Structure 1
Amino acid sequence: MLRFLFAMMIPFLIFVYTMSFTRWMGKERHLAAATSAALLGALTLCASGATLWKLLT
């Protein structure tokens, strides 16, 4: 479990960066782009988590 958490640090940091970009796009009133970025960030985090879980267990 500790290896999984350590391996998820980079995907999580990418997710945090994507969410800050999403907030910026929301402030600029680009709601379609903000929604797309948030969805892409969440899907990427889930896919990375599932892949790493499968590889490490």
Structure 2
Amino acid sequence: MTQTLIDGGTVWMSGSTWAGRQVLRISVSNWSTDAADVAMSVEAVATAVAALDRSVGPER
């Protein structure tokens, strides 16, 4: 999912492992980040999650 987000060009995030789980590492601390940037980032993540859900299918 991390590479999908980076390839989309809207956000840059890195992956990591925390408490044995894969996680996204994000930062929104840049002075020029505004509400529109956050909204675009949230939409990009939601789209990537939906695409991943479609490719993996329902949990069993």
Q: Quote the Cα distance in structure 1 between the aligned partners of 2:41 and 2:29.
A: 12
- Larger RCO: Structure 1 or Structure 2 (Cα < 8 Å, ≥ 6 residues apart)? 1
- Structure 1 runs of 4+ off > 6 angstroms? none
RMSD of Structure 2 on Structure 1 (CA): 2.3
For 2:30, the equivalent position in structure 1 comes to 24
CA drift at 1:55 = 1.0
Unpaired stretches in structure 1, ≥5 consecutive residues = 1-7
Q: Which has the higher strand share?
A: 2
Structure 2 alignment gaps of length 5 or more: 6-11, 14-23
Identity value in percent: 11
Aligned residues: 38
TM-score, structure 2 as length reference: 0.48
